[in-house]
Amino acid sequence: METQAGLCAELGLQQPVIAWHTIRDNIAEVGTFLGLVGGTLGKLSMDVKLLMQTEVAEAFEPFHHGRGSSSTMPQKRNPISSCYIHAAISVVRQHAAALLDAMVADHERSTGPWEIEWIVLPEAFCLMAGALKQSLAVLEGLEVDTAAMRRNLGLTHGLVMSEAVMMGLGPYIGREVAHDLVYDLCRDALKQQRPLLDLLCENAEISRHLDREALAKLCDPVNYLGQSGLMVDRVLARMPV
């Protein structure tokens, strides 16, 4: 035990309290942690891929000449890094499951399960290293088109702000009544292909309480960000300088 304690101290490791041969939870914990990190990176890469679609075009991976173009469609700008990230973390997720399976060992010296670790754990680290490198490159060079974001918010001609309108009307006519009224007006706006604001202003029940200027403020997404800014600031405040 003294030799073990000295070696662990020299290596900066904790001394195990019992033989580790069939106690594989530490190894599995490392693998599942890599899987969790991969899940976070996968969410990031998925959003970037969706935001780069032609129909959305709100954010893009950093541009380099020739990068992301198709061999047959030169106009394309493919999410190369995000594709690599998605592929890597998908394999790591399966490796994490394999490490959990490796915990089920027979007696005190397993015949097969722990060899799973030799195969999947090194590869999981390699894949996550690549995914992290690609994610860093995406975040450092991410291109954001705020004009496209604002334009997309206007695609529904105000319907996206129906909740804000409902909440604004609630103090005057009650939340449930406001919900049903705005719901019906949203259906009418879709049928008539008209801005929601116009229908709100034309409704006698609503115009008795709110004029066009007040309704326009409720229909403006800029006025309905809630706690988003505060939450972003709180996250950034925890980041190391």
Report the catalytic residues.
70, 109
Nearest to 159 by CA among 133, 136, 182: 182
- The structure tokens listed for 175 are 């939340």
DSSP state of 223: G
Nearest to 207 by CA among 158, 153, 165: 165
38/93 Cα distance (integer angstroms): 7
**Rg (alpha carbons) of the chain, rounded to whole number:** 27
208 contacts 169 by C-beta, under 8 angstroms = no
45 contacts 80 by C-beta, under 8 angstroms = no
